């Protein structure tokens, strides 16, 4: 069946055939990691709609979430096309992947599924993610896969602006009042245990590196650390140890209990009315 | 200005089935349309698109916004390439639909609207006329050129107030009413305003 599927790849997918033949499943997995992290963090933002501490922050949080949803659609749309070609079905699209998979099928980082908490938790999570995201996208913009390169180049502009905002908030809260400093430090200490995944690389990352699709892990780690250290120092915050014990598993579908609740809320409507065309 | 072609007189109902209502308006009697396999008049198409407003900032057209990237003919079929401003811009589909409807109403049968991501949209593509219209509408146009420095805030520009012209303005929030804008405040006339940020 697999050979038949390969012969039946559409012309659109021909450009990706070389990569697909070499790393068919890893590439799909890798795209799910990118798309799911953007999607789940976007959904965390959507949950704040109507609940932000100030109107300006409400708009900012929603706009960052919207950017992330757009990026998720681009990544998952590509993953869906590759899946559809492999499975010889046209019924998979980005919405299908977002709304009809269960928690164990999601490949997002654990940090993005952590609950919203207070504003320090929200901005701390965003900052630690953004500091990683911009450097990853910067590398992916040079990807050997043209589709990945163009989505990354587009997303990079948005992520750079997100990092600017989250850095400013971490600095303002960390170097602010005694209360804001205490809360920002507490948020950082709590979120830190989920950062191990950002700099941990497995066989899928290795396959992407070898295919020239993804950047070298060493560069990403070095640059992420540099950004984190620079901002935390200005924020007068104490950086927890890189060698601290870390939770991992999101990238292979082992999630914290929070993801299931998030998906239950996000997927409720499309699962109750599957294939509805008017909401 | 809309070109002088006749609007479709007789709707044809047997065209390709699609969700877009404009599919019912397909007309074929517009003068100046290229015969099959030939290229048509790009300026005439631009004139039609010049009348299609951005749904969120209706004072500027999709042409002035710089999101119409390419106009071409594929086997006699008009193909328009459009790029989104932001990955998650919720107006993307609506804009594509509006472009389609305007072209069909102008007599182009079954135009192809394609989405293109690369090269990524930049505010540098906003036309001068578009910038002036933004200012007149109360939205400060992007200051300077889009660059990594402007995105990371290393070179925050002075944004003149679009209402009173004062340079004494300050940023209130990185985001305004849409993803493409930031919220500013004028310290002289005390009015808040949107700034169409550099991207």
With an 8 Å Cβ cutoff, are B88 and A153 in contact? no
ipTM over 0.85: no
CA distance B199 to chain A (A): 7
With an 8 Å Cβ cutoff, are A59 and B175 in contact? yes
Q: Are B52 and B102 in contact (CB under 8 A)?
A: yes
Residues 6-25 of A with CB under 8 A from B: none
B102 in the same domain as B25 = yes
Chain B residues touching residue A154 (CB < 8 angstroms): 87, 117-118, 120-121
With an 8 Å Cβ cutoff, are B117 and A155 in contact? no
Q: How confident is the model at residue A124 (pLDDT cuts 50, 70, 90)?
A: very high
Residue B15: inside a domain: no
B136 in the same domain as B101 = no
Mean pLDDT is highest, among A13-27, A54-68, A88-102, A103-117, for: A103-117
CA distance A68 to chain B (A): 7
List alpha helices for B29-82, DSSP H: 42-49
B136 in the same domain as B98 = no
For residue A233, pLDDT beyond 90: yes
Hey, is the C-beta of A52 within 8 angstroms of any chain B C-beta? Answer: no
**Which residue of A70, A155, A277 to mutate against B (max B Cβ within 10 Å)?**
A70
Residue B52: inside a domain: yes
Residues of chain A with pLDDT > 90, as a percent, come to 82
B130 in the same domain as B84 = no
As for how many domains chain A has, the answer is: 1
Tens of pLDDT along chain B (199 residues) come to 334 444 333 333 333 333 433 333 333 333 345 555 566 789 999 999 999 999 988 999 999 999 999 999 988 889 999 999 998 888 888 999 999 999 999 999 899 999 999 899 999 999 999 999 999 999 999 987 776 666 666 667 889 999 999 999 999 888 887 878 899 999 999 999 999 988 8
B109 in the same domain as B25 = yes
Residue A279: inside a domain: no
List alpha helices for chain A, DSSP H: 2-7, 11-14, 17-46, 55-87, 94-99, 110-113, 119-140, 146-174, 178-191, 203-210, 217-234, 258-272
Is the pTM higher than 0.80? The answer reads yes
What was the pLDDT predicted at A128? Answer: 98
Which residue among B115, B137, B165 closes a domain? B115
B136 in the same domain as B86 = no
Residue B110's domain is classified under what CATH number? 3.30.300.130
B144 in the same domain as B101 = no
Q: Which structural domain, as residue segments, surrounds residue B29?
A: 21-115
Per DSSP, the three-state class of B116 is coil
Residue A74: inside a domain: yes
Residue A173: inside a domain: yes
Which residues have a Cβ under 8 Å from the Cβ of B179 and sit 6 or more positions away? A63, A66, A67, A158, B85, B86, B88, B89
For residue A253 the two structure tokens come to 């579908």
As for how many domains chain B has, the answer is: 2
Residue A137's domain is classified under what CATH number? 1.20.1260.10
B95 in the same domain as B65 = yes
- Mean pLDDT on A109-122: 97
Hey, is the C-beta of B167 within 8 angstroms of any chain A C-beta? Answer: no
Residues 65-124 of B with CB under 8 A from A: 84, 86-90, 117-121
With an 8 Å Cβ cutoff, are B153 and A164 in contact? yes
Closest A-chain CA to B116: A150
B150 in the same domain as B185 = yes
B73 in the same domain as B44 = yes
What was the pLDDT predicted at A269? Answer: 92
Which residue among B80, B115, B150 closes a domain? B115
Of residues B120, B175, B176, nearest to A154 (C-beta): B120
**Which residue of B152, B174, B196, B197 to mutate against A (max A Cβ within 10 Å)?**
B174
B26 in the same domain as B96 = yes
CA A75 – CA A28 distance, rounded (Å): 10
Which residue among B92, B115, B138 closes a domain? B115
CA distance A162 to chain B (A): 9
Residue A278: inside a domain: no
**Which residue of B175, B177, B192, B195 to mutate against A (max A Cβ within 10 Å)?**
B175
B110 in the same domain as B33 = yes
Q: Which structural domain, as residue segments, surrounds residue A19?
A: 2-272
């Amino acid at each position: 069946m697999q050979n038949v599927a390969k012969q039946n790849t559409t012309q659109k997918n021909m450009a990706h055939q070389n990569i697909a033949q070499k790393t068919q499943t890893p590439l799909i997995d890798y795209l799910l990691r990118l798309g799911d992290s953007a999607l789940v963090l976007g959904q965390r933002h959507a949950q704040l709609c109507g609940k932000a501490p100030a109107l300006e922050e409400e708009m900012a949080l929603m706009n960052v979430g919207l950017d992330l949803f757009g990026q998720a659609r681009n990544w998952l749309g590509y993953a869906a096309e590759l899946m559809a070609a492999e499975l010889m079905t046209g019924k998979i699209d980005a919405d299908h992947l977002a709304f009809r998979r269960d928690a164990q099928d999601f490949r997002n980082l654990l940090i993005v599924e952590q609950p919203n908490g207070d504003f320090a938790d929200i901005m701390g999570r965003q900052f630690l993610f953004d500091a990683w995201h911009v450097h990853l996208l910067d590398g992916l913009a040079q990807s050997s896969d043209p589709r990945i390169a163009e989505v990354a180049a587009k997303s990079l502009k948005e992520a750079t602006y997100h990092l600017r905002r989250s850095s400013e908030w971490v600095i303002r809260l960390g170097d602010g009042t005694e209360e804001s400093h205490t809360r920002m430090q507490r948020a950082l200490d709590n979120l830190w245990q989920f950062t191990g995944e950002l700099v941990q690389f497995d066989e899928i990352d290795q396959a992407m590196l070898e295919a020239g699709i993804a950047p070298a892990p060493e560069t990403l780690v070095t640059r992420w650390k540099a950004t984190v250290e620079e901002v935390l120092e200005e924020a007068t915050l104490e950086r927890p140890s890189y060698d601290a014990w870390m939770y991992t598993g999101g990238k292979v579908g082992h999630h914290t209990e929070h993801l299931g609740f998030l998906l239950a809320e996000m997927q409720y409507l499309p699962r109750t009315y599957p294939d509805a065309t008017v909401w | 200005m809309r070109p002088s072609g006749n609007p479709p007189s007789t709707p044809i109902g047997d065209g390709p089935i699609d969700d877009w209502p404009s599919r019912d308006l397909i007309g074929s009697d517009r003068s100046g349309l290229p015969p099959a396999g030939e290229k048509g008049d790009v300026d005439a198409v631009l004139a039609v698109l010049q009348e299609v407003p951005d749904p969120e900032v209706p004072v500027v057209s999709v042409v002035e916004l710089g999101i119409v990237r390419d106009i071409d003919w594929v086997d006699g079929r008009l193909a328009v390439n459009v790029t989104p401003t932001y990955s998650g811009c919720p107006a993307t589909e609506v804009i594509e639909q509006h472009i389609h409807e305007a072209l069909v109403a102008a007599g182009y049968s079954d135009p192809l609207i394609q989405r293109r991501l690369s090269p990524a949209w930049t505010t540098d593509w906003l036309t001068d006329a578009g910038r002036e219209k933004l200012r007149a509408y109360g939205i400060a146009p992007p200051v300077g050129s889009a660059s990594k420095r402007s995105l990371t805030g290393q070179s925050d520009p002075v944004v003149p107030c679009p209402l009173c012209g004062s340079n004494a303005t300050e940023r209130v929030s990185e985001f305004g009413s849409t993803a493409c804008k930031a919220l500013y405040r004028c310290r002289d006339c005390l009015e808040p305003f949107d700034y169409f940020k550099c991207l």
